[in-house]
Structure 1
Amino acid sequence: MISSAEQAILDAVNLDTPWELIERFTTLKREDPEDVKQAASLIAERLERHGVPVDIHCPELFLSIPRQASVTIDGVALFAKAMAMSAVFPDGITAPLVYQPSGYALDADELFSRQAPADEIDVRGKIVVSEGFGMPGKVSDLERRGALGIIAINPGKRAHWGVCTTIWGSPDLYDLPRKPGVAVVNVNAEDGQRLIEWARGGGEATLKTDLNEGWFESPVPVVTIPGTEEPEKFVLLHGHYDSWDYGIGDNAVGDATLLEIARVLWANKDKLRRSVKIAWWPGHSTGRYAGSTWYSDAFGLELDENCIAQINCDSPGCRWATEYQDVSLMPETERFAAELIRDVTGKELRAERPHQAGDYSFNNIGLSGYFMLLSTMPDELRAEKDYYAVGGCGGNIAWHTEDDLLEIADRDILLKDIRIYLLAAMRTANSTVIPFDFTLTLDDFRVTVERYQAAAGDHFSFEPLRAEIARLRSAVGQLGAQAASLKDQPLTSPGARAVNDAQICLARQLVRVNFTREAAFFHDPAESIPPLPDLAVAEDLPHASPERIGFYRTHLMRGQNRVMAALREAHTAVERALTVPVPS
């Protein structure tokens, strides 16, 4: 239930400032680095106009900006869109065209997943045409199989822009070998069918890709609204301000949301107990989340020590987006997020595991996170309009196309979504105990391990891990009971600090083993990551040949060790908190 103090702040929200920014962005494309700089200045000017101080960081990010692309068959050049991070072939490559049957994603989960074709054909030395989007999993798979170029057939009348690398953010030396070495473009459905027929007839194609690739200075505006009790601890609310073309639904509406929340929270900063940082990222579209990744790198230690949660704001307030389904969130945040949405809208939340996408650049630090895309159109309406799955714009297929214009934004829905994000930031910052329930995470772990055990059969036992999960869950349950007695305590009280330290440790340990394979402060590839990823190979055991079973057991032993060590570290923190006296 929304308190009277919360309602007074929510009532301060209006659309004057955010809608004016959205209208200004209808005249400014935000993919070229110089245009992105101008967009950052426009955001900063509006913040300063409302008396909100803003820091502008200016890192150099590795970006890939598509310029031109084409596919030529039988002397006819077909329009195409080069995918960011595609290899550059301005003079073109000519090779036999081959059709690799694939399919189209049914939802956003499939869209961001690696979808292996049912039948792999020989693509060595050929240009491949295949249904879908030029997503990183497909691209890396076809490159591994020897393709020279990839033409992804998008399902509609428009070809979509996107980015094709598995590298998350600006590459480091570990990442560089995964930089795509193939040309990758998207074409629309009509031209795609023409290319399939040409491939079936044994024809050749010439594929041209021209991109501007390199290191570009890219402003990162960050507002810090200081808390009154524990200002060093903070919530990070963030979204990207670069876009494809004018990008109103993805993500001018998000930028406007962040702007209005900064205005309202700054005017009510005396009512914040912890700090709120609000950040706008460049390099999302042309650098695979390069802006948020840079921030995660440059401020990694501060985030590790002091950030209590990250909240991602992407594509709120789009037309027809009246439902809150397939909302990305980590399991510990689900009950809290569901209450937020219910309090503001009266709607029920339908949650999903976060994709390895959408500026979730903080998993390797171990930050609890919730929201990415928020409101979306009902499934029935999407079916009625015959819309295919996309990754933003509230389900509107204008996503990542020239059609993502002002008509995609909806004033009433935007106002409602701004209030959800504002309440989210306020409640997270103001809760005496960080408001996440890690028994939900551990229940999720238990179900996942049961599934992996069923697949592994007698080949491997997860019994030690199951016992460790149960032991930690019991301790976290006791921690929750202790937290309930701290509601009216100051954040600086010994009891509150002890419980919150334990909550932060739970996040750092459990998020890492549930969402990452790489070491802390590095970044996993931009491909779907299953729950408890170091153990997920258990599901392959039923199909493993006898001579490979030992390798699977070795892998699972190491993976189980990693997870158990994290659980024990978290358990130690929880037990430490339970020894601190609390008010009776």
Structure 2
Amino acid sequence: MSQVATEVERRLRQVVSAERLQRHLERFSTLFRDSGSEDELRAAEYVAEQVSAAGAKVKILTFDSLISWPLEATLVVTYPDGRSEEIPARPRSFGGVTPPEGIEAELVFIPFQKPGQGEMIFTHRAVAGDYEGRDVRGKIVLTADGGPDGIRRAEERGALAHVHIWPSDEPAIHEMIATPVWGTPTPETAPSIPKIPALGVTNADGERLAQACAAGPVRARLTSKVRTEWMRLPLVVADIPGRDPEGAFLLVGAHIDSWYEGITDNATGDASLIEMACILAQDQEALHYGVRFAWWPGHSTGRYSGSTWYADTHFMELRERCLGYLNIDSPGIRGASVWDCRYNTAEVEHVTAAVVRELSGQEPNLRRPLKAGDQSFLGVGLPSLGAFRMLPPDHPDRKAVGGSGGGWWWHTPHDTLDKADAGVLADDTRVYVTMIARMCLPRRHPYRFVPVAGDFLRHLGELQEAAGAHLNLAPALERAQAFQRAAERLDVAAQRASDDGGQVAELNRGMRELSRLLNPVLFTVKGPYEFDPALQLPVLPGLAPMRRLAGLDPVSDEYRFLWTQLVRQRNRIEDALRRATALADDVASAL
């Protein structure tokens, strides 16, 4: 890194202001930013006003989105001894609606493997509930299997409704979303929106109900009222242009909508983006590449509809000119101290690692992207960066939630101004602005593709071991080895390349194209033009069902259907590696 770049980074970090961040948080604390609401629009206008005053080019885009507001629910249970009790409950966004009188049926408990007390909820959605030997047709399911896939499993088995027991012990009911459809539905995905009511209860109430079900038949009557309709949403975009004649840019996003005040999810992220946009607008002559900031609506009640709409409607611009995507969600948490470096793709993970190591002194725990948090650009092929400061695992406020640094107040009315710390947020913002600087100050993109080849080799090897002789991945492994050698040659050639503008521009274009070939295969099933469901996927998700293939009867329809699907996914991976190897060699030979 050059001395000039180091000085720019230092200057950017020095001007981050905890006082300005606090003022933004105080303004956001006066707004309940439900998507489609007047408060969300006021928040968007506030963002635009702040950033445009600093000299950035700002637009408020608008679009129609299917939004679902959970309104109210009731749950009354009758025990075997005749006693009745009303249990506090909340309906889920995009859950089914009952008639005004509700529905009544037997309550059936389905055991489920829960996450640990401080484990993020997104890590356990793919685990199946245990329905073996249990008939839930015409009944109400009670379970900790609570993600969209858990609701789907209950609905597929004929359940009338789904009641989710929260896995950790905080006395709060968290707002959640029932649909697995990522972004605005299409004719193909709309049937996946659940039709049965879905409610949430606390861990204590749910466990008590589970014990009652074990002791004898329990009846339940529930109502669910949810408002699901098309709403017009505002999406603020602020551009800080760089010197690059092609107009390449880094995309930095944070969701602007919230549950209730939503201070740590995600007013803190919104404030961080405002601060960085204002700072960079005052120092944009230092940027070789531009930075585009976006405040996404439709995150919580539209299942990431804002970032998905943007990916759809700006697809070619992102495909051709975007360096990568940095998502910022839930920074600035009171008491947060442990950096969690999820959402990093291999070609840029060293950027995140170096910044976190240098500014925090912690060794980063680099992880690949989760299917959450407005990660709507992996199909486009964008490299992804991310780092979040969490509460320590032994912190009393740390629970099994999906954001707010692990704080128990996530997605509840308790996510208020006192849960944030402007000093912590300022430090977090210094990390993010340094990551931006390292992507946008140098003329040469800081991509490294040997670690990407390592991802292919490692996961293909694990899948081959899991599937045994059922599907031969040797040709794909050979392709991955060939790409690894090509990536090594590209790295050497890139280091030797002259700083001549034309040569570096060709190198950068080639490396961006490599990411467009490889990331959709590594992180999606559907590829560049559609969106996978909001369910957790491993690396190389198209081949993930190989682990199930070995347990099926080889002469069954299920085995043969799945084998055919997996062969097609293997072909997809081999072809991407073939094309990437040729491209890497072409770029290296041209330098």
The question of a shared fold, defined as TM-score above 0.5 by the shorter chain, is answered with yes
Paired position in structure 2 for 1:408: 419
Equivalent position to 1:554, from 544, 564, 567: 564
Change (3 A) 1:314 1:386: closer
Equivalent position to 1:241, from 237, 252, 256: 256
Paired position in structure 1 for 2:196: 182
Equivalent runs, 1:214-363 vs 2, <5 Å: 214-325=229-340, 327-363=342-378
Equivalent runs, 1:389-538 vs 2, <5 Å: 389-486=400-497, 489=499, 493-538=501-546
Cα drift, residue 198 of structure 1: 4.4
SS of alignment partner, residue 401 of structure 1:
coil
CA contact (8 A) 1:97 1:198 kept: no
CA separation in 1, counterparts of 2:588 and 2:69?
Answer: 53
CA contact (8 A) 2:74 2:223 kept: yes
SS of alignment partner, residue 461 of structure 1:
coil
CA separation in 2, counterparts of 1:319 and 1:478?
Answer: 46
CA separation in 1, counterparts of 2:359 and 2:24?
Answer: 24
Equivalent runs, 1:94-109 vs 2, <5 Å: 94-106=104-116, 107-108=119-120
Equivalent position to 1:124, from 137, 140, 147: 137
SS of alignment partner, residue 247 of structure 2:
strand
CA contact (8 A) 1:168 1:524 kept: yes
Change (3 A) 1:173 1:532: same
SS of alignment partner, residue 224 of structure 1:
strand
CA contact (8 A) 2:331 2:388 kept: yes
| Per-residue deviation, residues 320-369 of structure 1 (Å, max 9, x unmatched) | 21111353312222222100112222222112222111000111111111
CA separation in 2, counterparts of 1:307 and 1:51?
Answer: 22
Amino acid at match of 1:246: E
Change (3 A) 1:281 1:229: same
Equivalent position to 1:78, from 78, 81, 87: 87
The alignment status of 1:145 with 2:157, answered yes or no, reads yes
CA contact (8 A) 1:112 1:356 kept: no
The alignment status of 1:166 with 2:180, answered yes or no, reads yes
Paired position in structure 2 for 1:36: 40
CA contact (8 A) 1:230 1:275 kept: no
Q: Which range moved further: 546-555 or 419-428? A: 546-555
SS of alignment partner, residue 320 of structure 2:
helix
| Per-residue deviation, residues 5-54 of structure 1 (Å, max 9, x unmatched) | 21112212112322111111222111152221121112122223333331
Amino acid at match of 1:257: S
The alignment status of 1:368 with 2:368, answered yes or no, reads no
CA separation in 2, counterparts of 1:149 and 1:425?
Answer: 46
Amino acid at match of 1:122: D
Change (3 A) 1:63 1:416: same
CA separation in 1, counterparts of 2:383 and 2:307?
Answer: 15
| Per-residue deviation, residues 375-426 of structure 1 (Å, max 9, x unmatched) | 11222x23xx274321111111111111111121122221111011111112
The alignment status of 1:196 with 2:210, answered yes or no, reads yes
State the superposition RMSD in angstroms. Answer: 1.8
Equivalent position to 1:16, from 14, 19, 28: 19
Equivalent position to 2:8, from 5, 9, 18: 5
CA contact (8 A) 1:366 1:508 kept: yes
CA separation in 2, counterparts of 1:119 and 1:212?
Answer: 31
CA separation in 2, counterparts of 1:386 and 1:270?
Answer: 43
SS of alignment partner, residue 328 of structure 1:
coil
Equivalent position to 1:27, from 8, 25, 30: 30
Equivalent position to 1:564, from 560, 568, 574: 574
CA contact (8 A) 1:341 1:348 kept: yes
Cα drift, residue 117 of structure 1: 2.0
| TM-score normalised per structure 2 | 0.93
CA separation in 1, counterparts of 2:301 and 2:42?
Answer: 16
CA contact (8 A) 2:273 2:293 kept: yes
CA contact (8 A) 1:70 1:80 kept: yes
| Per-residue deviation, residues 292-346 of structure 1 (Å, max 9, x unmatched) | 1111111111111111100000011112211113533122222221001122222
Q: Which range moved further: 71-80 or 415-424? A: 71-80
Provide the aligned length of Structure 1 versus Structure 2.
573
